Amino acid sequence: MSKTAIITGSGRGIGAAIAKRLAAEGYDIVINEVSQEALDTYGAQTVDDCRAAGVRAECYAADVSDHAQCEAMVKWAKDTFGTIDVLVNNAGITRDGLLLRMSEENYDDVIRINQKSVFNMTKLVGAVMLRQKSGRIVNLASVAGLYGNPGQMNYSASKGAIIAMTKTAAKELGSRGITVNAVAPGFIQTPMTDKLTDEQKAAMLAQIAMKRYGQPEEIASVVAFLCSDDASYVTGQTIEISGGLSM
């Protein structure tokens, strides 16, 4: 029987690379974006790329910070595909600014979209996986959640929380054959980091041992490992993928 993976925020960037990698591994794929417009603009291409691997791929517009929309998406995925074997909590945003200038709205938006989405989706998909007695959940944390980052009080808080949520979910779900892990990327070239100034990018590059930025496919390969049988005894862990940013 085929296996199904839901990857949140997977129309583009790291999520799209993960979707394509898991499609190449034989998973049927659910591409999620916050809006139908985003799906039409770039999600459709990702769906086509996944289908080219010979698997079934469908897209679903839902704001993963909204519990009711997540509930509808998970029900649709279960009804459409039969099982949900992998959940990748990838959707995320930045609203950077120094602490004393950061608005309450920018703090709340990042916590809601990056962190509450992980609660929503892990709770709902976790219930499906508990009944199946198997599953793999991978959360996108960040080096900012491990070490902090100036200008990212909101983002660091959300990613640090995701690391703690990963450990908690691993402890709650482990006895039913479900593993929960996180990856903590450093600087990966995507639309999210394209927004940074040249000065910010150069400052980051200077701290990276490998002296280059990471590519989305280099995150996708580690996520694929965590979803594979080779990682059957790995749970509650956070794997840093940063080219040696912090050592």
Q: Write phi, then psi, for 6 (nearest 5 degrees).
A: -105, 125
156 near ligand NAP (CB under 6 A) = no
| Residue 16 C-alpha from the chain's centroid | 10
Q: How far apart are CA 29 and CA 17, in angstroms?
A: 12
Q: Which of 15, 126, 160, 243 binds ligand NAP (CB under 6 A)?
A: 15
Q: Is 54 exposed, middle or buried (0-12, 13-18, 19+ CB in 10 A)?
A: exposed
14 near ligand NAP (CB under 6 A) = yes
Q: Cα angle at 154 between 193 and 135, to 5 degrees? A: 80
Q: Which of 27, 155, 213, 233 is catalytic?
A: 155
Stretch that binds ligand NAP, among 119-127, 165-173, 188-196, 226-234 (CB under 6 A): 188-196
243 near ligand NAP (CB under 6 A) = no
Question: Catalytic: 155?
Answer: yes
126 near ligand NAP (CB under 6 A) = no
Contact 136, 86 (CB under 8 A): yes
Toward ligand NAP, which CB reaches closer, 170 or 219? 219
Active-site amino acid positions? 155
- Kindly list the residues in this chain that would bind ligand NAP in the complex (CB under 6 A): 8-9, 11-15, 32-34, 38, 63-65, 90-93, 113, 140, 142, 185, 187-188, 190-193
